Each structure stands twice: as C-alpha cells, then as structure tokens.
C-alpha cells in the first residue's frame, strides 16, 4: 500500500471528458425540446410557455399527410422485414456451415455496410426504370426500399435470441410426434417472441427515421415526416419543427427503452 486511496482505475481528466460528452450529447436535444414550447416564433429567444406550435403542427395538412405516410411505410416495412427476418434467422442459425453462407450474410448485412447515399442512388436508378416501364408511382417503392434496409436490423436481435435458445425442448416435442409446424408454433415461436418484438421495434424506428433513401426514392408529393422536415430547414425555421421533432424523439426513445428491456429479458 504505497498510497492510500490510490485508485488504479482512475485516469486524469477522463471523468471530466466523459461528463462533457454526456452534456454535449443531451444539451442540444434538451434545448430543442424546450423551445418547442416557446410562445414566440424564435427558436433561440424564450418568450414563455405555450402549446401553440404543437397545435399548429397538428393542424398543418402537410404534416398530417406526411405523418400518416411515415406510419404506413414504417408499419409495412417493419412487418415485412421482421417476417422475412424470422424465416431467414431460422434458416441460418443453429445449423452447420452451409454452402453459400457467406454470400447470404453479405446480402443480409449489405444495407449496413453500403453508404446510404449509394443505396439511395442505386434505388433511384432502378426504380426510375420500373416507373418508366410500368407507370406505377405509388408507395410500394418506398415500402420495398424500407423493408430491404430494415432486414438486418430485424434479423440481428432475432438471430441473437435464437442462438441463445435450447434445442432440447424442440427435440423433445419432435420425439412426442409433433409435426415440424407444431414444433415451430408451440415451442419455437413462444420462446422467440421477445426477439421478434425487439426486431420489429428496431425496424420500425429505423424506417420512421430514414431521410436519405426516402428523399431519393419518393415520387412527387410523397414526403414522409423526415423529408418534410429536411425541406423545411431551407426556409425560416419556426418552433413547429421543434414540436414535430419532439414527438418523433418521444416515439424513438420509448421504443428504444422498450427494446433494451425486451432484449435483456432472459425468458
């Protein structure tokens, strides 16, 4: 004991930097939320509390349409990507190395590795070809694009859950003459459920937040909430944008906390 109270874990200045980091991460977001309640039309000078910008966002028709569109796309994208991710996870987990495995993993993870702008441009080019050929300009393009880049986010938690699962219950069920479908429905699915829910929530958040790919894929008049906001940033910004941001933030934070709790749960 050379020095009493000598903490081997301490590094000079590290705690200060860490605290500065947390402050830096949260201070802008907190200010953003605070000014969404500003009664004046400035986003830097506080004039008093009011709900006025929430009311004005709520009554703004463009915001309403963009919100509905964002939700439709996110629900479909989360549903589709989670469904196919469950199937893909069942095929690739708890199995020996198979032929083409690395190609499959590369394809599933592609949306995570390729820069978003590159995917966005590629989809713009491809969908432009289809638009010319078919004349269809509906929401399906956005739903397809979102489903694709949500797949890895849905796949990873489901796969993690599946890997931690014991095979013996399923083998026992099979020994008792359960059909493969019954085994899946009665044994695998109930155990897998938290992973599926976690994957779906992650996919939903990712789809709801996407800017770049949506900006390039959308046809005229197909703004989602984020692309609407991006367009508004070019004009004079009022706290209405803060109000919309606050609502989106609340949704994301709630889902992320729920996701964390779900994926920590052991059974």
Partner 1 sequence: MAGQATSQDQAAARRRWLLLAPALTILVFAASGPLLITLVYSFLAPGAFGGVEWEFSTDAWFNVILQRDIFEDTLGWSDAHLSIFWRSVKLSLMTTLVCLILGFPTAYFIATRPKSQRELWMLLIIIPFWTNLLIRTFAILELIRNEGTVNSVLIGLGVIDEPIQMLFTEFAIIIGMVYVYLPLMVLPIYASMERLNFSLVEAGYDLYATRFQVLRRVILPLVKPGVIAGSILVFVPSLGAYVTPRVMGGGNQLMIGNLIELQFGQGRNWPLGAALSITLLAIVMVALILYVRAAGDEDVRHG
Distances (CA, A) of 228 to 17, 62, 210: 36, 8, 12
DSSP per-residue letters across 180-226? HHHHIIIIIHHHHHHHHHHHHHHHHHHHHH--HHHHHHPPTT---HH
* CB contact burial 36-73 (16+ within 10 A = b; e otherwise): bbbeeeebeeeeeeeebbbeebeeeeebebbbebbbeb
Which region among 10-18, 47-55, 59-67, 158-166 touches partner 1 (by CB under 8 A)? 10-18
Q: How many residues bind partner 1 (CB under 8 A)?
A: 92
Count of helices and strands (H, E) across the chain: 12, 0
Which residue's CB is nearer to partner 1, number 18 or number 68? 18
Query: At its nearest, how many Å lie between partner 1 and the CB of residue 54?
Result: 16
Q: Quick one: which of 17, 133, 167, 176 contacts partner 1 (CB under 8 A)?
A: 17
Distances (CA, A) of 154 to 79, 95, 105: 10, 20, 14
Q: Does 23 bind partner 1 (CB under 8 A)?
A: no
The CA distance from 157 to 153, in Å, is: 7
Provide Rg for the chain, Cα atoms. 23
Which residue's CB is nearer to partner 1, number 108 or number 187? 108
The H or E element containing residue 170 is: helix 168-175
CA-based end-to-end distance of the chain: 45
The CA distance from 29 to 246, in Å, is: 9
- For the segment 200-239, give every residue that binds partner 1 (CB under 8 A): 205, 208-209, 211-212, 216, 226, 229-230, 233, 237
Q: Does 21 bind partner 1 (CB under 8 A)?
A: yes
Which region among 27-35, 66-74, 166-174, 192-200 touches partner 1 (by CB under 8 A)? 27-35
CB atoms within 10 A of CB 28: 9
Which residue's CB is nearer to partner 1, number 68 or number 117? 117
Q: Quick one: which of 1, 5, 9, 102 contacts partner 1 (CB under 8 A)?
A: 9
- For the segment 30-69, give every residue that binds partner 1 (CB under 8 A): 31-32, 35, 42-45
Which region among 28-36, 53-61, 162-170, 187-195 touches partner 1 (by CB under 8 A)? 28-36
Query: What's the CA dihedral at 99, 103, 107, 113 to 10 degrees?
Result: 140
Q: Does 125 bind partner 1 (CB under 8 A)?
A: yes
Query: At its nearest, how many Å lie between partner 1 and the CB of residue 58?
Result: 18
Q: Does 140 bind partner 1 (CB under 8 A)?
A: no
Which region among 49-57, 59-67, 84-92, 186-194 touches partner 1 (by CB under 8 A)? 84-92
Q: Does 195 bind partner 1 (CB under 8 A)?
A: no
Q: Name the DSSP letter for residue 11.
A: -
Q: Does 83 bind partner 1 (CB under 8 A)?
A: yes
Q: Quick one: which of 39, 50, 62, 128 contacts partner 1 (CB under 8 A)?
A: 128
Query: At its nearest, how many Å lie between partner 1 and the CB of residue 172?
Result: 20
- Sequence-distant (≥ 6) Cβ neighbours of residue 9 within 8 angstroms: none
Q: Quick one: which of 41, 58, 116, 169 contacts partner 1 (CB under 8 A)?
A: 116
């Amino acid at each position: 004991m050379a020095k009493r109270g000598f903490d081997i874990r301490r590094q000079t200045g590290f705690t200060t930097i860490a605290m500065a980091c947390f402050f830096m991460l949260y201070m802008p977001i907190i200010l953003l939320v605070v000014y969404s309640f500003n009664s004046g039309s400035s986003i830097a000078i506080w004039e008093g509390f009011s709900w006025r910008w929430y009311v004005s966002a709520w009554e703004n028709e463009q915001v309403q349409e963009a919100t509905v569109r964002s939700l439709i796309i996110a629900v479909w994208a989360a549903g589709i990507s989670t469904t196919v991710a469950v199937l893909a996870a069942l095929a690739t987990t708890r199995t020996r190395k198979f032929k083409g495995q690395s190609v499959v993993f590369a394809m599933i993870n592609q949306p995570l590795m390729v820069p978003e702008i590159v995917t966005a441009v590629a989809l713009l080019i491809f969908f432009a070809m289809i638009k010319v050929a078919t004349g269809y300009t509906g929401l399906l393009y956005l739903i397809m694009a979102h489903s694709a880049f949500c797949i890895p986010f849905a796949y990873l938690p489901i796969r993690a859950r599946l890997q931690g699962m014991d095979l013996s219950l399923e083998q026992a069920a099979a020994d008792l003459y359960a059909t493969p479908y019954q085994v899946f429905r009665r044994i695998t699915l109930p155990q897998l459920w938290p992973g599926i829910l976690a994957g779906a929530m992650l996919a939903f958040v990712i789809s709801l937040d996407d800017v770049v790919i949506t900006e390039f894929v959308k046809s005229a008049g197909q703004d989602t909430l984020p692309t609407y906001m991006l367009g508004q940033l070019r004009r004079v910004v009022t706290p209405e944008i803060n109000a919309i941001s606050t609502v989106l933030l609340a949704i994301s934070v709630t889902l992320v906390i729920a996701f964390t709790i779900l994926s920590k749960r052991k059974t």
